[in-house]
């Protein structure tokens, strides 16, 4: 589509206005860029057997201390991974005088506070887990006292407990509650956390259950105001199929995500399963690159002490992390796909913050979805893929407080206006130059990606 002189119709103007929404996200000053860290769920689930031989791997103070030490010694803290998040199964099975307590055998009486203090000394942060229903998904005490009612909930008392322990992040699950009522009930927990005056990052799962298991669409404005992160799809598993199911669902929702996702409040496609048992190196790189292009939270769930170097290298790729942490926080869209002889190729484009001549720079990712044959030359016209990312460019421009019109005009105008781009591969040491009207051709491994950054030649 060519753009003529830019006169915005009221509808376009309104939709651009709607994209700004800064005041509608949760304003607790946190998650200005996607948070990074580690979480126990996918790898360690609800393993509470701390008998000899399994003490390293059960949900206990020892596990989180071990991981904290490895984040530091293996260079993960240095590249930005800072949260150590406890998931389900940390508490005792019942409350004591109405209060939550950690399981004393696995954590010690004062274990969470001690863990938080230790992590803070190590310049890390501690996350904890709860549930907006009467029980967590693994049937530990939740924050609600009786089903579907606000009466007798534990929101304030638990928020005070978490703050007193020095917790920095709280994952609020949505099992064991009437999903439809969750939207009315659960946001009050965020208010309770705010009242403590301790900055606590909030991850919500309750919007997910509504989206997944009912006919009702969650109110994304409510989620955005109540949650720094919000899950929208099934739990990720340690399998390529699971990663691909997240991909498919995310692409279906991408136009909505683009509008509501950004500094302060992020859609969360769930944990990085890189370095566990299932993903090949190419598949692992694909997950890392996708999460980076999506500006998704980077929470690993793996065993850092058993991680093969190749996977550690993928997780610590500074250039990809920089893409993930780009200050504009734009959700990179899938802008083109094509059937190839042995599979399918897809292109993702994420506008990032360095602007030249009113246009952002771009991260372009090619994904070759195939499990047959050799690496394959994926090729798309550069002008086509950049112009197809116009909605993402509008979000980037809005966040940069510039107008997207001039940029879109330049991308659509005759070939001499934009001389071309220099490109840099963010994984392999390769670079080059490409003109706007050329085909951008890159060889991509099956199940693999190529990720390049394009900066306009001045
Ligand atoms: C749900 C969540 C998971 C994990 C488990 C814990 O399934 O989606 O991420 O927290 O509960 O029981």
pLDDT digits (tens, 9 = 90+) for 200-244: 999 999 989 988 888 888 899 999 999 999 999 999 999 999 999
3-state secondary structure at position 281: helix
Walk across the sheet containing 431-434 and list its strands: 333-340, 343-356, 359-369, 448-456, 421-425, 431-434
Task: Determine the average pLDDT of the residues in 149-158.
Answer: 85
DSSP letters, 288-303, are: HHHHHHTT--EEE-S-
Kindly give the distance from the C-alpha atom of residue 246 to the centroid of ligand 1, in angstroms, as a whole number: 16
Task: Determine the average pLDDT of the residues in 299-323.
Answer: 98
Residue 379 CB-density burial (10 A; 0-12 exposed, 13-18 middle, 19+ buried):
middle
Please indicate whether residue 173 is annotated as part of the active site: yes
β-pair type (229-231, 266-268) = parallel
Kindly give the distance from the C-alpha atom of residue 64 to the centroid of ligand 1, in angstroms, as a whole number: 18
Please indicate whether residue 268 is annotated as part of the active site: no
Q: What percent of the chain has pLDDT over 70?
A: 94
Give the contacts of 373 (CB within 8 A, at least 6 positions apart): 341, 342, 446
pLDDT score of 220: 93
pLDDT score of 343: 98
Which of 150-154, 168-172, 387-391 has the least mean pLDDT?
150-154
Which atom in ligand 1 lies closest to the alpha carbon of residue 137?
A: 12
pLDDT score of 419: 82
Which atom in ligand 1 lies closest to the alpha carbon of residue 271?
A: 9
Query: Rounded to the nearest 5 degrees, what angle is found at the Cα of 157, between the Cα atoms of 155 and 162?
Result: 90
pLDDT score of 1: 30
Rounded to whole angstroms, the Cα distance separating 434 from 420 reads 6
Q: Is 236 in the pocket of ligand 1 (CB under 6 A)?
A: no
Residue 416 has pLDDT above 80, yes or no: no
Residue 21 has pLDDT above 70, yes or no: no
Among 39, 44, 48, 88, the mutation site with the greatest number of ligand 1 atoms within 8 A of its Cβ is 88
The per-residue pLDDT for range 341-376, each reduced to its tens digit, is 999 999 999 999 999 999 999 999 999 999 999 999
Residue 135 CB-density burial (10 A; 0-12 exposed, 13-18 middle, 19+ buried):
middle
- Which of the following is catalytic: 57, 235, 282, 425? 235
Q: How confident is the model at residue 7 (pLDDT cuts 50, 70, 90)?
A: very low
Residue 24 has pLDDT above 80, yes or no: no
Q: Is 173 in the pocket of ligand 1 (CB under 6 A)?
A: yes
User: Using CA atoms in the order 170, 175, 177, 183, what is the torsion angle rounded to 10 degrees?
Assistant: 50
Q: How confident is the model at residue 146 (pLDDT cuts 50, 70, 90)?
A: confident
Could you say which DSSP state residue 341 is in? T
The alpha carbon of 52 is separated from its chain's Cα centroid by a whole number of angstroms, namely 36
Residue 280 CB-density burial (10 A; 0-12 exposed, 13-18 middle, 19+ buried):
middle
pLDDT score of 18: 41
Half-sphere CA count of 197, side-chain side, radius 13 A: 0
Per the prediction, the chain carries an average pLDDT of: 93
Residue 51 CB-density burial (10 A; 0-12 exposed, 13-18 middle, 19+ buried):
exposed
The per-residue pLDDT for range 36-86, each reduced to its tens digit, is 999 999 999 999 999 999 999 999 999 999 999 999 999 999 999 999 999
Phi and psi at residue 386, to the nearest 5°: -70, -40
pLDDT score of 196: 98
Q: How confident is the model at residue 11 (pLDDT cuts 50, 70, 90)?
A: very low
Among 47, 48, 175, the mutation site with the greatest number of ligand 1 atoms within 8 A of its Cβ is 175
More confident residue, 150 or 1: 150
Rg, C-alpha atoms of the chain: 23
Residue 12 has pLDDT above 80, yes or no: no
Please check whether residue 173 is in contact with residue 137, taking contact to mean a CB–CB distance below 8 angstroms.
yes
Which atom in ligand 1 lies closest to the alpha carbon of residue 41?
A: 4
In 3D, which of 208, 284, 283, 200 has the Cα closest to residue 249?
Answer: 208
Which atom in ligand 1 lies closest to the alpha carbon of residue 45?
A: 6
Q: Is 268 in the pocket of ligand 1 (CB under 6 A)?
A: no
Q: What percent of the chain has pLDDT over 90?
A: 87
Q: Which alpha helices (DSSP H) does 60-172 contain, by range?
A: 61-73, 104-107, 111-121, 155-165
Q: How confident is the model at residue 149 (pLDDT cuts 50, 70, 90)?
A: low
Task: Determine the average pLDDT of the residues in 104-108.
Answer: 97
Rounded to whole angstroms, the Cα distance separating 301 from 199 reads 24
Rounded to whole angstroms, the Cα distance separating 377 from 220 reads 39
Phi and psi at residue 397, to the nearest 5°: -65, -40
Q: Does the model's pTM come out above 0.85?
A: yes
Task: Determine the average pLDDT of the residues in 409-424.
Answer: 89
Residue 256 has pLDDT above 50, yes or no: yes
Residue 15 has pLDDT above 50, yes or no: no
Residue 16 has pLDDT above 90, yes or no: no
pLDDT score of 458: 81
The per-residue pLDDT for range 429-445, each reduced to its tens digit, is 999 999 999 999 999 99
């Amino acid at each position: 589509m060519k753009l003529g002189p830019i006169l915005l119709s009221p509808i376009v103007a309104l939709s651009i206005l709607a994209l700004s929404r800064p005041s509608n996200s949760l304003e607790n000053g946190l998650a200005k860029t996607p948070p990074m860290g580690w979480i126990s769920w996918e790898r360690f689930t609800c393993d509470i057997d701390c008998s000899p031989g399994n003490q390293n791997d059960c949900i206990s103070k020892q596990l989180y201390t071990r991981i904290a030490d490895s984040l530091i010694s293996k260079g993960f803290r240095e590249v930005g991974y800072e949260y150590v998040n406890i998931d389900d199964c940390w508490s005792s099975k019942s409350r004591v005088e109405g209060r939550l307590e950690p399981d004393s055998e696995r954590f010690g009486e004062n274990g969470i506070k001690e863990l938080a203090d230790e992590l803070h000394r190590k310049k890390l942060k501690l996350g904890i887990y709860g549930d907006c229903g009467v029980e967590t998904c693994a049937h530990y005490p939740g924050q609600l006292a009786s089903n579907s009612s606000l009466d007798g909930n534990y929101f304030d008392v638990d928020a005070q407990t978490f703050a007193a322990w020095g917790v920095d992040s709280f994952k609020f699950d949505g099992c064991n509650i009437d999903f439809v009522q969750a939207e009315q009930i659960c946001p009050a927990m965020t208010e309770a956390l705010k009242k403590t005056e301790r900055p606590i990052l909030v991850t919500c799962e309750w919007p997910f259950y509504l989206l997944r298991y009912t006919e009702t669409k969650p109110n994304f404005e409510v989620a955005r105001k109540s949650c720094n992160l919000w899950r929208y799809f099934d739990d990720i598993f340690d399998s390529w199929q699971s990663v691909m199911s997240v991909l498919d669902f995310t692409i279906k929702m991408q136009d909505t995500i683009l509008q509501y996702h950004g500094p302060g409040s992020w859609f969360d496609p769930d944990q990085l399963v890189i370095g566990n048992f299932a993903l090949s190196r190419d598949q692992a790189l694909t997950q890392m690159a996708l999460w980076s292009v999506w500006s998704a939270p980077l929470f690993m769930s793996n065993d850092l002490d058993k991680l093969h170097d190749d996977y550690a290298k993928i997780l610590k790729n500074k250039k990809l992390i920089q893409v993930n942490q780009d200050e504009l926080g734009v959700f990179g869209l899938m802008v083109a796909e094509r059937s190839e002889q042995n599979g399918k190729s897809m292109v993702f484009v994420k506008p990032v913050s360095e602007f030249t001549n009113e246009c952002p720079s771009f991260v372009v990712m090619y994904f070759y979805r195939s499990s047959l044959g050799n690496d394959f030359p994926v090729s798309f016209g550069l002008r086509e893929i950049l112009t197809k990312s116009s909605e993402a460019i509008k979000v980037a421009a809005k966040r940069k407080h510039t107008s997207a019109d001039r940029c879109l005009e330049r991308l659509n105008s005759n070939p001499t206006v934009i001389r071309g781009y220099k490109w840099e591969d963010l994984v392999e040491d390769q670079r080059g130059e490409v003109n706007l009207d050329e085909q951008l051709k890159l060889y991509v491994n099956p199940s693999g990606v190529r990720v390049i950054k394009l900066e306009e030649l001045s």
